[in-house]
Structure 1
């Protein structure tokens, strides 16, 4: 793929993303603006409906207050001596008041009924209540509860059934309780407002496909064009959250799976909320045409810009293609400098940078050749270090002494072990051994040294089964064992315990080399590691081990020293956990 294609593809995607983003912003802005405009218009409409509802509720409260202030009604409810003549006279007077108030408040569209209920047996109803209806009314929980609380005035929005419609129409009630001077309950004056009266306020002013709910301050539906919702609190969580929130409008899916545009208005007089749901599809149908036009304009602009930029990329790709050909020729001429022939400053800068790179590559090639030589030298030194000349000299000298003393069997065993160690040193090109292989080699080394030192070393290992196939660099642990024989064994005739433990710790492998010889502490180890390798010969290879491990794995790995009540020296080698194959070896735990 050439740079022209890359530029074109990049441009295609970048412009595509920018176009999509621009389209999204425009559509989102226009849609949001439409929602806000619609919300503002509908809120004003709901405000007018709410004001009419407030006027109607206030009117009903005024009627209840006027009836409560009427002396004939109040006196009749409070009277303890009622006659049929008195009751008929009072009923006729209430009928006149009902007719008067009904005519006066009809201008607000208010239709209502009056019910008077006295403990002395007085009964009045403008809606044809029977004695059974009065008993039913007095048995309602809200009636009994407010009577027990001693409330003088309250409203009921849990919809007392009205006999006029056979008990199917719900009502809003204003109640005035009457009490004796002694504080005993005497009766109640109730003004009922039919739910159809409330729904007539908004029925002619809303969209035919919208749903409207009138909710009281407890979010209970007082009136709705969906009669199945009257008397209940919205069960849909989005509905309830929207009614209780401060958002003027919202968009969500209702209980019927229809995505709706919802708007509300809360009255400051009654605290009631009028809540309208409009199917979003009916709102978005005219809006979609404008959105499609916006998308078409943006796409046309995108195609025009893409065409212009394709011409620009072509003018950029030509000189770049030319300089690439020059670079290919330069590589074939051992990174010779470019001869730049262009007027573009950027292309000249690329050429100059390439010429500097050629100089750096030539220097790097020389450095690599030098590094290869050093690596070969280091490999040779490493191979020489695998066979400790001092160890070979002492071992061969010991074998010579055994032969001269006539202990051919002892000498033969020492030769066998030495041959096995030397064979392991030179017979494999692998740089790693499994722990199972490494412990077998260490065991042979300790056996050979024990033959020299009259079995004064008690050797033990603890190699868990799950660690047997873990790998470590070859000849990494043996110098730690050599130091025990170099520093601990020649100092006395006591038997020395040598213990090697392999312990996995998270992603690390801890190799503990413990002995009961002379003590060796962490500060001493740090002093040795701080010295040049040549001056650290008194402790064989510790600096080499430290440098080798940290070069391979990093500064968090390497050697540390400690001790406990039993082992005077515990040298811990920290390595990463590594796995690899191994040949079958049968480990011994004691020597």
Structure 2
């Protein structure tokens, strides 16, 4: 016998261990995903809060710069002073400016207050005249008239504010302190349809960076212009570089690759010139705590798994020992060692099974002994029966010899009777076939009637009407003979009369009717028969019981009789006695 690679015991242990491992692994994976998602949500919330605060300060600074433009451009006194100064400058023709003569303009610029700290204000008039709120000693601002952005702005309409972004500090005295300035410029008309003037406002870039620096590097905040260039950053080295592109504008956050690292990116758009605030949280920092948590949880899970595995293996070993012992005992019994016993007992299911198994083996041994004794006795009885048995062929041959001698002496009637007796005996003794064709069964009845008429003085006529398609249908042997005998003895009372046998086929049944014209049965006795009382005649009862055993409820027998009108027996036999028949 080939045993499987994994036995029942090994499969049980392996399944039990898998039931421990699989839930643990699934729990770890789900915990990791849930923790990662929660940390991501927390990081987004933190970044959103940081952006909201930074947006408030940044918007105030930028709005303050726009308000400063308006306070200069739309202040009539300031505009009048600028016109007077420019006219006087033109009339003087020396290219020099007596700043003490235009003290009112300088004082006006000095009185402008700004949110967030120091702000550089520069007013550029035509022909190189300019005013500032800062010292221009050794600081010639004439280069501003040559800047590319000045030429572009000069081509456009007036009263348009241009956000230049981050520029190098053009104030020499503060260049080391504030190396970069965030600059905006507005063009306006000093006179209608005349040369344009310009207002330049600059904020030190570190005013924005100080806001971002409060959050360290988690998250990283930056100010980005409409072209995607970094205007201000907590890391000054990133200023002027391209910010990470936004791939999903509709999402509240997204994962982006920037500067060789992966970041959790959030963007808030500002109401000025398409500028925006960006928040970049290093994704590694977000999920770094998950690794520590996952490792600790994994160690705890591993310890518990090893502990429970040892306990499980111990208990499974104890619980499966009786089953394995039963299996070994069954294997030995299969090989013929019937004296083997498992010895398994106990107040549990396996104990009851072992006890029942041992008792079954005891009974099998007892049965084997009894069967051997019975077989011995049976062989002796068969030997004795064989010694006492008369050879049927000797009897048939003797009857045939006697029949031939009688016929040769001219007694043909006696010879026919002897032939019928021989045929009837042969049919009675031959038990090889339980089923025979209907025509052979009727031939047996004809021989029987010939013998009965020979014994009695009053003859009984046998009328047979078999449909041609019923002759070869198999019926149980000696089914009709007892019924005809019952009609001859009880129906006709051994008097003169007629017995009719009719058969026809009506699938799925064969219908046979046996009718006599004898004395019949009175109504009281027929009522008892229909109510289930035993039918009269031993042969009739035996036939009914036998056919019920063969066909069950598919077989039917009905009896109809009345005094003086004879008796009719109707049989309903299935056409296929050894197959299932659908009842119709």
TM interval, short-chain normalised: 0.3 to 0.5
Who wins on radius of gyration, i.e. which is larger? 2
TM-score (norm 2): 0.47
TM-score (norm 1): 0.47
| Larger RCO: 1 or 2 (CA < 8 Å, sep 6+) | 1
